Amino acid sequence: MISIRIKQSEHKLREIGVSPSHSRMKIVSYLIGNKNHPTVDEIYSALKPSMPTLSKTTVYSTVKLLVDKGFLLPLFIDENEVRYDPDVSVHAHFKCRKCGDLHDVQASVQKIYNKEGHLIENTHIYFTGICFHCKK
């Protein structure tokens, strides 16, 4: 399943005008294979052992490019960090205030009406609380 998503991602990158270089595909593969909504530092730390020439600048620039092209969703749940999600569909996020884990939450947002006629391009819904693991 993950390998299919990686192949689809490679095709999608080409469609949006992004060359699927080795380092970019490693970053995309990591994001797809890990549902932890990582920070740039987490991506870098996870990939550095298998990619000794990888720089943090490469990770930052790749993530910025993927966000700019609409391939990644930046998550601003905390003031101190930005996390990234390869699932750009409309969904919510839940962050546990005890362990700090971040989970996808399905939230139905069918239509958003506004009388002023604003063009809504993004929806970010964040929940905080205690996850089921910490609640035990």
pTM: 0.80
Q: Is 10 helix (H, G, I), strand (E, B) or coil?
A: helix
Chain centre distance of CA 16: 17
Question: Do the bridges between strand 81-85 and strand 125-129 make them parallel or antiparallel, or are there none, so unpaired?
Answer: unpaired
| Structural domains in the chain, sorted by start | 2-71 (1.10.10.10), 92-135 (3.30.1490)
67-123: per-residue pLDDT in tens? 999 999 999 988 888 999 998 888 889 999 999 888 888 876 555 566 677 777 777
